[in-house]
Each structure stands twice: as C-alpha cells, then as structure tokens.
Structure 1
Amino acid sequence: MRRTHALVDWLRACVAAFQFLTRLPIPVQIDYTERVFQRSSMFYPLVGFIIGLLLLLAGTGLSHVLPTMPASILLLTLWVILTGGLHLDGLMDTADGILSHRPREQMLEIMKDSRVGAMGVIVCVLHLLLKFSLLYTILDANQAGERGNMLLLLAIVPIWSRWFMVAAIRIWPYARPNSGLGSLFRGVNSKHVTVSLLVALLTTTLCIYNNYTISLPNWSIVISFMAITTLVGSGIAAYISSKLGGLTGDTYGALNELLESVLLLAVIIIFGM
C-alpha cells in the first residue's frame, strides 16, 4: 500500500507539472499543495521534452508542406499556445519592473500589476521577433539539408530552459517571502535540482541517441547545452536578483523565455561552425 500511495503521489506531481507549465489537456483534478508544487519541479525537464517533441514533429511537418516563412510563424504560434503564454507573461512583467529603474519595492509592485506597460510590450515584441528569426534560420537550414537535422537540437532547447527554472528556485532567494505563486516553491531543495538535472540529461540523450544526422558527438551536445544554460542563466538570474533582492514567479518565466532564445542562438552558432 505504501508503494502504491508513493507512486500515486509522484504521478500527481508529474501531472501537476504538465498542468501548470502547459495547456495540454490532462483532465485530472490535482490538489495544488506546497508539497505537490515542490515535487512537480523535478518533472519540469520532462515537460520541456514533450514540448520539444511536439515542436520537432510540427516543424518537420510544416517544413514539408509550407515555405519557411509561414512555417516558422506557425511553429512559433504553436510554441506560445503549448504554454498558454505563461512564460511570456512573466517576461513582460519582469521587463516592466526592471526597466522602470525604480526602487526595489516599486519594481515588485509594478510586476504585480496585471496591466502590461510599454516596456513589457516592447521587450515581448523584440523577443518574439528574435525567436521567429532563429526558428526561420533553423527551418531554412533544415530544409536545405545543409547542417544535418537541426530540428533535433530545437527539441532539446525547452528541456534545459525548464531545468534552469528549478535551479534558480533553489539557488536564489524568493523576493516576496509571503506572497505570490512562486512562494509555493520555497521548499525546493538540492534533491529536486539533482533529480531534475538527471531527467534533463536522460531526455537530452534520448533526443540525440544514435542519430547520425548530427555531426557532433553526443557528449559534446549534452555538455554544451548544460554549460550554456548554467552560465547564461546564472548571469541573468544574478542580475535580476541584484535588482529585486531575489527572484519571483514572473522572473522564473522570464528566465525560461530568455534561455530558450539564447539556446536557439547557440544551436545556430554551433552548427555554423
């Protein structure tokens, strides 16, 4: 009975991760306690893996029936739909707060406002334009068959951006100790980060295992993604934390969005070499 109960708890945490981070229809009622939120963080890279696979399938299909431009727009649209714009909302709120250049308390108040400001809109538009251009480059190179199956590496991007969200929750303090959705993750510890890292490593390996269309060794791809994510993510998180005195739920979403674009850029640069 204990094992069955433990298995059910883990399944609830997994379902919670998908329900929270995506708009995939999973008709299961979950009691969102603090414990469930904390455990669900270990499945964030798995959520990224499924999102990546869906993008891989959609990108492959779209590039076979449409020119690169509309295929890229539709692929980006699907990416936003899969997450319900959750992380984009965090990016806009973070931009409104940080770029207001106000004192810390006022920045946090601005980020709590449900209305989007000018800086949030500007950053969101520029971010989506960058993401579109990167997807266009990847699909164009993939269609031309110039650099192997770059879409496989696109599938890995959401895995590592979501893993770093877990690492950021653990490493940097929470800026609003007693409020906000992000406060439910305060109990995330080193075990959660380690397990989520193992999930990220496993799912990345599954994406590239025995794939001969990628010229780089498998180990170098895994290490590259992990290193770039850790270095760039740490720099962004440290900067935001220095402004706000910690991180919030909005900044976790912003980190995810920014890292996705950085990793897409890295995919293009690595294959360009």
Structure 2
Amino acid sequence: MHTARIVLDWLRACIAAFQFLTRLPIPVQITYTDLVFRRSVIFYPLAGGVIGLLLLLASEGLGLILPPLPAAVLLLGLWVVLTGGLHLDGLMDTADGILSHRPREQMLEIMKDSRVGAMGVIVAVLHLLLKFALLYTLLESNQWDGATGSMGYLLLAIVPIWSRWFMAAAIQGWPYARKESGLGSFFQGITKWHVGISLLVALFTTTIFVKCIDSTFDTAIWPIPIYFACATCMAGWLIASYIGRKLGGLTGDTYGALNELLEAVLLLGVVICATP
C-alpha cells in the first residue's frame, strides 16, 4: 500500500506537469498542493518531449503535403496551441516590464497588468517571426536534402525538452522577485535535487529520441544531449541573469519568457547545425 501511494503521488506530479505546461486533454482531477507543484518540475522535460514528438510528427506530415511556407505557419501555430500561449504570454509581460526602463517595483507592477503593452506586442511579433523563419528553413532544407532535413526534425523535437528543463533550474537558481505571492511562488522550495533529477529526465528523454526516432543515426548518441545541455545552460544563464538583475529575481512570467527565448536560441542552433 505504501509503495502504491508513493507511485500514485509521483503520477499526480507528472500529470500536473502536463496539465500546467500543455493543453493536451488529460481529464484527471489533481489537487494542486505545494508538494505537487515542486515534484511536477521533475517531469517538465518529459512534457517538453511530448510536445517535441508532436512537432516532429507534424513537421514530417506537413512537409509531405504542403510547400515549406504554409507548412511553417501551421507548424508554428501548432507549437503555440500546444501550450495555450502560456509561455508567450509570459514573454510579452516580461518585455512590457523590463523594456519600460522604470524602477524595479514599477516593472513588476507593469508585468502584473493583464493588458499587453506596445513592447510586449513588438517582442512577441519579432519572436514569432524568428521562429517562423527558422522552421521554414528546416522544412525547406528537407525538400532538398531528405537526410539533413530528417536530422533537423529530430533536433527540433529535442528543443522543447531543454527549454522546459531550464525552467526548473531557473526556479531553483534565482530568487523569487515578488514580495507578495504570485503563480511562481507555488514553486518555491524546489531544491537542487529536483533540478538534478529533472536533468536526468532531460538527458534520458533526449537519448531515447535519438536512439528510437532516428535509428539510422550512425554517430555517437551522447554528443547531442551534451550539446543541448551545454547550450541551454550557457544561454539560459545569460538570459536569466539579465532578467534577474533587472527585477531582483525571477517571476512566473519570466519563467515563461525564459522558455520562449531558449526555444528560439536552441532552434537557431539547430538550423545552423542541421542545414547545409
């Protein structure tokens, strides 16, 4: 009974991660406690892996029936829909606050406003345009070089794994900026143990992707997870440190912004590495 209860508790945490980070239909009622929130971050890379798998399947299918341009638009739309725009909303709120160049407390107040300002819209448009251009490049590359394009699709699927892992690292690595409670406050108390286990989940999920999805991959497997881990840590640390200095820490909105910005950075790296 005790073992079954432990398994059930961890299963609830896994479901909570999927319900929070995705809009996949999971009709299970979860009681969201601080413990569930803390445990759920361990499964963030797994949720990212499912998103990545759906993007990979969609990119393969769209690439077969549509030209690269409309296929890239639909693929980007699916990417946004899978998360319900949650992280994109965080990016817009963060941009409104930080780019207002106001004192720290006013930045945090601006970020709490449910309305989107001019800077949020501008950053979101530029961000989506960059993602669209990168997806278009991958899809077009597949038209001309099937082997290289397939490799690009595989690396595309891995991107959401690592951007979501760094969310867990950021929650633990930087203080919470708001004095009052907010959505991000539910995740306080996350330890290095949570981040470490989440890292193992990210490495394992990436390795499974490389091994199972592309069985013809004839070079060593481990350089890919290591590349993503190093690139994520370096880019994530730079972005999180900049935001943390501006706000005196991170918030729920900035966790979403980190995810979006890291997706763009990692996708840029994929295009550089996987296109001729």
Q: Normalising by structure 2, report the TM-score.
A: 0.96
1:75–1:148 distance in 2 versus 1, CA, 3 Å:
closer
Aligned to 1:109: 109
Q: Work out the CA distance in 1 between the residues paired with 2:113 and 2:130.
A: 26
Q: For residue 72 of structure 1, what is the aligned residue in structure 2?
A: 72
Partner of 1:159: 161
Q: Which blocks of at least 5 consecutive residues in structure 2 are unaligned? A: none
Aligned to 1:135: 135
Q: CA deviation at 1:187?
A: 0.9
Which residue of the partner structure matches residue 253 of structure 2? 250
Distance 1:14 1:151, change over 3 A: same
Q: Distance in 2 between matches of 1:12 and 1:244?
A: 33
User: Hey, which bits of structure 1, 4+ residues long, moved more than 2 A?
Assistant: 210-217
2:92 match:
92
User: Pairwise mapping of residues 30-45 of structure 1 onto structure 2 (< 5 A)?
Assistant: 30-45=30-45
Deviations 1:12-52 (A, max 9, x none): 00000000011001001111111110000000000000000
CA distance, structure 2, for counterparts of residue 215 and residue 266 of structure 1: 21
Secondary structure of the residue aligned to 1:158 is: helix
1:181 alignment partner AA: L
Offset of residue 220 of structure 1: 1.6
Over residues 136-167 of structure 1, what are the superposed CA-to-partner deviations in whole Å (9 max), with x where a residue is unaligned? 00111122226251101100000000000000
Q: Distance in 1 between matches of 2:218 and 2:163?
A: 23
Which range is displaced more, 174-183 or 81-90? 174-183
**Alpha-carbon separation, structure 2, partners of 1:137 and 1:226:** 24
- Aligned counterpart, 1:10: 10
Deviations 1:145-199 (A, max 9, x none): 2625110110000000000000000000000143110000001111110110000
1:238 counterpart = 2:241: yes
% identity of equivalent residues: 68
Structure 1: unaligned runs, 5 residues or longer: none
Task: Choose from 192, 206, 225 the match for 2:208.
Answer: 206
- Is the CA contact 1:56–1:152 (under 8 Å) kept in the aligned structure 2? yes
For residue 268 of structure 1, report the CA deviation from its aligned partner.
1.2
Question: Within 2, Cα distance between the matches of 1:140 and 1:155?
Answer: 17
In structure 2, C-alpha distance between the alignment counterparts of 1:113 and 1:8, rounded to whole Å? 38
Distance 1:272 1:129 in 2: 19
8 A contact 1:156–1:207 mirrored in 2 = yes
Instruction: State the partner residue of 1:263.
Output: 266
Root-mean-square deviation over aligned CA pairs: 1.3
Question: Aligned AA for 1:169?
Answer: I
Is 1:126–2:129 an aligned residue pair?
A: no
